[in-house]
Amino acid sequence: MLKKNIYIGLIGLAFIFITLSADFTTGSDGGIQFGWFSLVPPVVSIVLAFVTKNVIISLFLGIFAGAFVLHSVDGNVLTALVQSFLSIVEYALTSLADRYNAGIILQVLVIGGLIALMTKMGGTRAVANALASKAKGPVSAQVISWILGLFLFFDDYANALIVGPVMRPVTDEKKISREKLSFIVDATAAPVAGIALISTWVGYEVGLIQDGYEAIGQSVNAYSIFIETIPYRFYNILMLLFVVCTALFLKEFGPMLKAERRARKYDPTNIEDINPNPSSSELDEMEPIEGVKLSIWNAIIPIGTLIVAALVGFYFNGYNTIMAGEDTTLIQTMQNSPFSFAGIQEAFGASDASVVLFQAALLASLVAMAMGVKQKAFTWGEAVDTWINGMKSLIITGAILLLAWSLSASITDLGTADFLVSLLSDSLPAFLLPSIIFILGSIISFATGTSYGTMGILMPLAIPLAAGISGDPEFIVISAGAVLTGAIFGDHCSPISDTTILSSMGAGVDHLAHVQTQMPYAIAVGIISVIFGFLPAGLGLPIWIVLPVSMVVTAAFLYFFGKSIDEPESELD
């Protein structure tokens, strides 16, 4: 450990020396061009995360390193160090002051409190028992987790924070590793929300498509174009298939294979055996009140309240936003047919998901408290104490999210995404464009930890570029799909992505363990998406051939290259 700290210290000193001696150029807009140094924050955070095994320290040092690069222009090391520390504080305050970010922090904490209330009332235990009766073994337990992820299609955050805690007791009992559960949760969060016809993602994606087509002088129905991109969202579709195949074949590879083999040997009654490196233990330690009657309704009603309130909230929040806006076409749509499919889709897209989910979780918590008090599971005072105790389990999640957002702000100030675009978007043959866009989107979203930001950067470039290279409308659609799915792929791999963080916390597993086990799977599916998806699609092969072939290859890859977990036959479904 001492030797490792010495190495890190020496590398830090070398970094300071190299940064201070760097000669940064000035761009045409008068701004400083940091070039390769713009990659410092994500590289430092990601490398240190794997070296130190501590996400908080790694993110903090990544932000500090990025701020040091920004302030090193003056050449004074002492001033740069002081300003870097002050910048971390400023980034954190600015990130928390953002209405959307604050809403996410609040919804995360409140959902943690809601889960604690349901646990104390015996609701989660009852659901686990009910699901356990349906889940006869590891196959069905994983498939049920996957189905629940599909059911919560409307928002990736809600998915990550609900499916993990609900399914955790079931997968623990069936000796499925927490790492595998977090992978299933993560693989059915953004990949599902990104292609759902109605979700909190749709409005943003449709808006980017609309702007891209306007840039080339074309007036289109952006939502129709969005639907046309779905068959070309190879990574989303193939990842969903991949999850099912790992469950049905009971085959894994890489670090996940080790985690699953370890899980098959552990004692399901020993939490330390199940989760040797827990991120938080408050929810694991919570048990139903002694003597309380276990009822699935103590979980179904609060979660149902959360889902219904969220769906209603998405609509009315978006409706009010549209009616207060200046888009006369949308206002006309909402006035003439407010509950049509188009009206609902537009309202969902315009809603503030973070605020709505916070409101819905708060309402669901009040419902759970009232139910518990009525059943004499606890008093109002005990209900509040339990609720706050549940929040404690996700405070670490809030801290990581806050640091991840601060890192993103540092990355933006350094122009990391712009540098990557200029570095990787050279001239290329037409058929390679969708693949290059997918890879570029993957790199940017991995480095920045945000799929939304990556989509916003690339879509205005991809559609005009595709239109300039080829006048084929289908080619433009393929390129737009490559932006949307490439951003999700990189985000899925990134240890600094908010959905990756929430998935590990929801499943109750060490964050880096989740990243290490999931990354080989994401990379494998990403490679298949390029070789058997975007390359043949770019060459003009029909999608009705490309998509089925890529799905067969995905299943075959796991079947032939995955290794059996080697369970006794009697324990299989």
pLDDT tens column, 55-94: 678 778 888 888 888 887 776 778 888 888 898 899 889 8
Average pLDDT, the chain: 81
CA angle 532, 493, 275 (to 5 degrees): 125
Q: How confident is the model at residue 3, as a pLDDT?
A: 57
Reported confidence tier of residue 303, pLDDT bands at 50, 70, 90: confident
Whether residues 154 and 33 share a domain: the answer is no
Distance between CA 242 and CA 236 in Å, rounded?
Answer: 10
> Is the domain of 90 the same as that of 167?
no
Residues 295 and 172 in one domain: yes
Residues 403 and 338 in one domain: yes
Same domain, 248 and 320: yes
81/136 same-domain check? no
pLDDT of residue 480: 92
Q: Supply the range of the domain harboring residue 45.
A: 2-97
pLDDT at 422 over 70: no
**Structural domain tally of the chain?**
2
Cα–Cα distance for residue pair 317/490, rounded to 1 Å: 30
Instruction: Note whether 474 and 364 are same-domain residues.
Output: yes
Res 266 pLDDT > 60 = yes
395 and 453 belong to one structural domain: yes
Beta strands in 478-571 (DSSP E): 563-564
* CA dist., res. 41 & res. 36, Å (int): 11
Question: Where among 97, 115, 132 does a domain terminate?
Answer: 97
Say whether both 106 and 58 belong to one domain.
Answer: no
pLDDT (0 to 100) of residue 53: 64
- Matching residue, tokens 């999210």: 401
What is the per-residue pLDDT for 349? Answer: 73
For the segment 33-50, what is each residue's pLDDT rounded down to a tens digit?
A: 777 788 788 778 777 766
Please, are residues 509 and 181 in contact by the beta-carbon 8 Å criterion? yes
Alpha helix ranges (H) inside 121-137: 123-134
* pTM higher than the cut 0.85: no
CA distance from start to end of the chain: 45
Say how far apart CA 27 and CA 383 lie, in whole Å: 58
68 within 8 A of 22, measured Cβ to Cβ? no
Nearest Cα to 541, choosing from 394, 434, 384, 391? 434
More confident of the two residues 39 and 557:
557
End-of-domain residue from the set 97, 126, 141: 97
Question: What is the Cα–Cα distance from 281 to 274, expressed in whole angstroms?
Answer: 12
Domain final position from 97, 113, 133: 97
Has residue 293 got a pLDDT over 90? no
Pick from 162-166, 366-370, 392-396, 445-449: least confident: 392-396
